[in-house]
Amino acid sequence: MKITLFIPCFVERVAPKTGIAMAEVLERLGHEVEYPEKQTCCGQPAFNSGYWKEARSTAEHFLDVFNPAEIIVAPSGSCTAMVKSGFGELFKGTDRETEAAELGGRTHEFSDFLVNILKTVDLGARFPGRVTFHDGCHSLREIGVKTPPRDLLSWVKELELVEMEGADRCCGFGGTFSVKHPDISTAMGKAKCANIAATKADFVVSNDPSCLIQVRSVIERNGLAIKALHLAEVLASR
């Protein structure tokens, strides 16, 4: 298959290794992977803040860039959800409504793509360590991804997977919420880290880079002995 990479802005400039890892996994499965250089952003920050005209402007550029792609895969549930359902709100009643809907149908979150489209769970990965998984809210509730990441992790050699309490509770990032309401956001992040720490896991893994930014920031500030990693990085490990 020819797979087009959707690299969200947080991955582009904060965690580029996540994107590389995802591409590696897909290439190892024998697929051709390409990266459209002109991509910038899906428009989620503007959309969530209520600036829909501006969000639509950004989203139009996204449509232009990704239109030719057959399959689009992103290492992010929230960005995928933006394309799959946020675009529906933005383009409702416009002449790009159908185009946006069709593009949404061709866009997939990484773990969802592996398990439900490629029907693959064993990637031959090896990652020694005790790992707990955090569900990104949009992956979970917008796209309905709960078991695929866990299925994938269960096949990783030497990896011990433990469930934390409240794995599906929000980490507190919420995009602009994290800077508009930093106290609430931080408190939620701390509660999440407390749940992670209670599992005695060495690693917390998620399929959403923004959640990882939040969790990592709390971990670092509080000197906790946990590392935060993206699912793709674990799956690319040999």
Partner 1 sequence: MTRNAVEFRKSSEKSSLDGKQQGLLAKAVGIYLGKRDSGRKRFRDWEGARRQAEAIKTEALENLDMYLSRFIEKVKERGGTVFCAEDESSARDYIANLAVERGVKSVVKSKSMTTEEIHLNGALENKGIKVLETDLGEFIVQLLGQTPYHIVFPAVHLSKGEVSDLFHEKLGSEKTDDIEGLTMIAREHLRKEYCKADMGISGANFAVAETGMISITENEGNARLTMGLPKIHVAVVGIEKILPRMADLALFLQVLPTMGTGHWMSCYNTLVGGPRAKDEIDGPEEFHVVLLDNGRSKLLADKESREALRCIRCGGCLNVCPVYQTVGGHSYGTVYPGPIGAVLTPLLRGLKQWGHLSYASSLCEACTEICPVRIGLHKRLLSNRRNYADKYGPLAEKLGFKVFAFVSRRPLLWRMAGALASAGQFLYPLVGWFPGNPVKGWTKGRTLPHITWKSFRNMWADRGGKSI
The dihedrals phi and psi of 43, each to the nearest 5 degrees, come to 95, 5
Q: Which of 34, 102, 122, 158 binds partner 1 (CB under 8 A)?
A: 34
Beta-strand ranges (E) seen in 39-166 are 71-74, 107-109, 126-134, 157-162
The window from 31-39, 102-110, 125-133, 147-155 that contacts partner 1 (CB under 8 A) reads 31-39
Tokens 């994938």 — which residue?
Answer: 152
The window from 11-19, 106-114, 121-129, 151-159 that contacts partner 1 (CB under 8 A) reads 11-19
Q: Which of residues 60-99 bind partner 1 (CB under 8 A)?
A: 60-61, 89
DSSP H/E element including 162: strand 157-162
150: its two tokens:
């866990």
Q: Which of 33, 101, 161, 224 binds partner 1 (CB under 8 A)?
A: 33
Indicate whether 104 belongs to the interface with partner 1 (CB under 8 A).
no
Least distance (Å) between residue 155 CB and partner 1? 26
80: its two tokens:
């995928």
**Encoded amino acid at 61, one letter:** H
Q: Which of 6, 25, 58, 199 binds partner 1 (CB under 8 A)?
A: 58
- Report the alpha-carbon distance of residue 43 to residue 54 in Å, rounded: 8
Least distance (Å) between residue 94 CB and partner 1? 15
Q: Which of 71, 121, 161, 191 binds partner 1 (CB under 8 A)?
A: 191
DSSP H/E element including 133: strand 126-134
